[in-house]
A and B are shown apart, each in its own frame.
Chain A
């Protein structure tokens, strides 16, 4: 009886967005697993599976920050970077203590998420107290600072513990020691322990966290603070606290995504997480629709695959990529198309709607 009652509820206006997101991820996962096992997936696509998962998680986090909370963040890639290098260093130094890859992966992702969240909170404390686009400016700068720092960081580990330096030749290690960070070369010789399944689980976890937050009391407060600051303050919402909550969760998810990303490659350079990556993540979010998590997932998949699919066009591929982006922007802003979609929506929604999945 209970399940019978629950099924239609999953399609109700309140849950439709969530059902779509989870369904989309699970269906994608199933199809890809089948394709992998029957050998229908090229090695290029197989190698893209984990990175796509990472970008989706980071983009979901960014959408919470930009779409739901309404604060522009131009440094999401940098939180990925913090998470990635934390995870790579931890996994590298724990390789002997915990030889099994799975517990080490979980531990590294948790550490990456935690450290990224701490950085998020530290940045948020001064910035989120201000009104306006200060978060965008500060996260932009923070991205550059972190990139420069990691580019100049040398970290090694041996039986005596960690050795750290900002100058190359000062890392004196006992024989048998291992370099974790090599300045501009980044992390090398990382054991590749990320898996596609871990990526899918991380996406699902990210969705659970974000949806739980969005539809809770705090979530409504976050959206209220975005829609109207003065009215939100007048009903007793602490603007700083709500914005901080969204920002911290966003950076935490970026950290987890970065951790998974870092442990997917044997070599990871700090330059990978530069300003361009932050902007790409923002493009996924905006194209997928602010506050719309399913849209973010679809946009991320399409926009990560597109340049790869266009590889045969060689020199023209980024040109075509740009043209496609512009076309999508134009089409989704087309008035006739918009009204048509509205009509379709009305037919399906019939009565009552929800404001949470606002598409712009």
Chain B
């Protein structure tokens, strides 16, 4: 279980996260929705260790993560798909995926994981020898997700996976997220596409300028008047 309590993150004098608490239980899909600049990505970066919080605690199955460097957090079973499809452009699809398993100690099992990733994303199999930089936006997003799965995480953090994709691809990506979750990976999803995110989420939190203002199950929030007005277009 991932538990965040009273998390505070600042950029210099500016307080981006002003003390938020939430939790992600094993097997759940939890989504964090909010407008631009609400602090969603900041929260994600604090959890994965890319940013050091100013206060509060983040624990994964009881272990404090805030003092650990990012690569240690990955090897504890928490993988992140960063915002903006960050693939290693100058390496092939296969090499990108191999790097995903970088933190793993059980090298022998990566082959079967590779097969699993290719089953989940058949398009990556077609393009396995291609440079990652030459893939389309959707394919790069799939590669970034596949790469994170190669670390065999118990919990996967997804930062804006639908950003800049065509509606058809967005559907495909969300479908795959549900599929990953069905296979047993806990998911923390940050999205601007609140409608889609709430539809697949077990529970959801609304983040507004560094504070959690609402929380509930996915359908509760999808039917909440305030959420409808602010994030679902009336």
Chain A residues at the B interface, C-beta cutoff of 8 Å: 217, 220-221, 223-224, 227-228, 230-238, 351-353, 355, 358
Cβ contact of B82, chosen from A231, A236, A358, cutoff 8 A:
A231
Q: How far is the CB of B228 from chain A (nearest CB, A)?
A: 33
Q: How far is B117's CA from A199's CA once the two chains are assembled, in angstroms? A: 48
Contact call B148/A235, Cβ cutoff below 8 A? yes
Minimum C-beta distance from A125 to chain B (A): 15
**Is B91 within 8 A of A227, CB to CB?**
yes
Q: Which of A228, A230, A233, A351 has the most CB of B within 10 A?
A: A233
- B125 at interface by CB-CB < 8 Å: no
Complexed CA–CA distance, A217 and B100 (Å): 11
Chain A residues near B92 (CB-CB < 8 A): 355
B90 x A223 contact (CB < 8 A): yes
Taking the closest CB of chain B, its distance from the CB of A203, in whole angstroms, is: 26
**Which residues does chain B contribute within 8 Å of A232, judged by CB atoms?**
88, 99
CA distance A85 to B79 in the complex (A): 48
A227 touches B99 (CB 8 A): no
Bound-state CA distance A238–B92 (Å) is 21
Write 5 A-B pairs (CB below 8 A) sorted by A numbering. A217-B98, A232-B88, A233-B49, A238-B69, A353-B131
Are A355 and B95 in contact (CB-based, < 8 A)? Answer: yes
Among listed B7-15, B70-78, B179-187, B203-211, interface-contacting one: B70-78
Contact of A228 among B50, B87, B151 (CB under 8 A): B87
Seen from chain B, the residues whose Cβ lies within 8 Å of a Cβ on chain A are 48-50, 69-71, 74-75, 79-82, 86-92, 95, 98-100, 102-103, 129, 131, 144, 147-148, 150-151
CB distance from B21 to the nearest CB of A (A): 24
Q: How far is the CA of A355 from the CA of B99 in the complex (A)?
A: 14
- Check B151–A235 contact: CB distance below 8 A: yes
B156 CB, min distance to chain A CBs, angstroms: 11
A230 with B82: in contact, given A236-B151, A355-B95, A355-B131 (CB under 8 Å)?
yes
A219 CB, nearest partner CB in chain B, Å: 11
Additional 16 contacts, C-beta under 8 A, given A223-B90, A228-B88, A236-B74: A220-B91, A221-B99, A227-B89, A228-B89, A233-B48, A233-B70, A233-B71, A234-B50, A234-B80, A234-B81, A234-B82, A235-B151, A236-B151, A237-B102, A355-B92, A355-B95
- Output the residue of A217, A230, A234 with the most chain B CB within 10 A: A234
Residues of B within 8 A of A224 (CB): 88, 91, 99
A233 to B98, CA, bound (A): 14
User: Taking the nearest CB of chain A, how far is it from the CB of B60, in angstroms?
Assistant: 14
User: Quick one: closest B residue to A217, CB to CB?
Assistant: B102
Tell me whether A231 and B50 are in contact in the complex, defined as CB-CB below 8 angstroms, given that A223-B88, A355-B95 are known contacts: no
CB distance from B163 to the nearest CB of A (A): 15
Name the contact of B102 in the complex, choosing from A230, A235, A355 (C-beta under 8 A): A235
Q: How long is the Cα–Cα vector from A238 to B72 in the complex, in angstroms?
A: 8
- Measured CB to CB, the closest approach of chain B to A14, in angstroms, equals 11
A232–B131 Cα distance when bound, in Å, is 17
Give the docked Cα–Cα distance between A220 and B95 (Å).
8
Chain A residues near B48 (CB, 8 Å)? 233-234
* Distance between Cα atoms of A227 and B148 in the complex (Å): 17
CB–CB B86/A220 < 8 A: no
| Contact among B49, B50, B90 for A355, CB-based, below 8 A | B90
Contact pick for B148, options A217, A221, A223, A234, CB 8 Å: A234
| Minimal beta-carbon separation of B88 from chain A (angstroms) | 5
Contact partner of A235 among B49, B50, B79, B90, CB < 8 A? B79
Which residues of B have CB within 8 Å of A352?
Answer: 129
List 9 tightest A-B contacts by C-beta distance, closest first: A236-B103, A236-B74, A231-B86, A233-B70, A238-B71, A236-B71, A234-B80, A355-B90, A227-B88
In the complex with contacts A220-B98, A228-B86, A235-B74 CB distance below 8 A: yes
Contact between chains at A235 and B99 (CB < 8 Å):
yes
B70 adjacent to A227 (CB under 8 Å): no
> Which residues does chain B contribute within 8 Å of A355, judged by CB atoms?
90-92, 95, 131
**CB closest residue in chain A, given B107:** A217
> Contacts of B90 on A, CB cut-off 8 Å?
223, 227, 355, 358
Minimum C-beta distance from A354 to chain B (A): 8
CB neighbours of B50 from chain A (8 A): 230, 233-234
A352 to B130, CA, bound (A): 7
Chain B proximity of A126: nearest CB distance (Å): 16
Docked Cα-Cα span, A228 to B74, in Å, equals 17
Flag if A235 contacts B91 (CB, 8 Å).
no
CA–CA, A12 to B65, complex, Å?
Answer: 45
Q: Are A235 and B100 in contact (CB under 8 A)?
A: yes
Q: Which residue of A lies closest to B69 (CB)?
A: A238
- Contacts A228-B88, A234-B86, A235-B151 hold; do A220 and B80 have CB atoms under 8 A apart? no
Q: Say how far B92's CB is from chain A's closest CB, in angstroms.
A: 7
Q: Are A223 and B75 in contact (CB under 8 A)?
A: no
Given contacts A220-B98, A221-B99, contact A234 B91 (CB under 8 A): no
A235 surroundings in chain B (CB, below 8 A)? 74, 79, 99-100, 102-103, 147-148, 150-151
CA distance A209 to B79 in the complex (A): 32
